[in-house]
Amino acid sequence: MTPLEIVAMVLLTVGGVFCVIGAVGLVRMPDFYTRMHAASVIETLGAGLVLVGLMLLAGFTLASAKLVILGALIFFASPTATHALAKAAHESGLEPATGGEREKGPE
């Protein structure tokens, strides 16, 4: 294995570990809103590190360019989807479990 391949393997493994952590968080978190925070670990560090690892393996090729496009898609689409979910839950009246704390004003 070349040093580059070793770095790629490490990135893929660490990215996979973050995906597992996100999945564990999805199960452990108490309510809908907190579970979304766990899921966002998967789509940021998890997916991000796996994509960078794959780019290192693919080298300077068209496959890497497609991986960059894939990353851009996740970068723009995942917060939009998360926001749509959160807003839908909020509009339908799902109260977040806030541990007794009330809404705070700015500052």
Partner 1 sequence: MRKVSAAVSLFVFWILLSGYFTPFLLTAGAVSAILVVAFARRLELVDPEGHPVDFSGSALVYWPWLFKEIAKSAWDVSKIIVDPKLPISPVLVRVRSTQASAVGRVTYANSITLTPGTVTILAGRGEFLVHALTAEGAASLAEGDMDRRVTRFEGAR
**Which residues here bind partner 1, judged by CB under 8 A?**
18, 21-22, 24-25, 28-31, 33-34, 36-38, 40-41, 44-45, 48, 62, 65-66, 69, 75-76, 78-80, 82-83, 86-87, 90, 96-99, 101, 103-107
**Minimum CB distance to partner 1, residue 88 (Å):** 10
Please give the C-alpha separations between residue 16 and each of 21, 58, 65, 99, 106, in angstroms, as whole numbers: 9, 18, 22, 32, 38
Minimal distance in Å, beta carbon 5 to partner 1?
23
Report which DSSP code applies to 59: -
At its nearest, how many Å lie between partner 1 and the CB of residue 49?
9
Put residue 94 in one of left, alpha, beta given phi > 0 → left and psi -120 to 50 → alpha.
Answer: beta
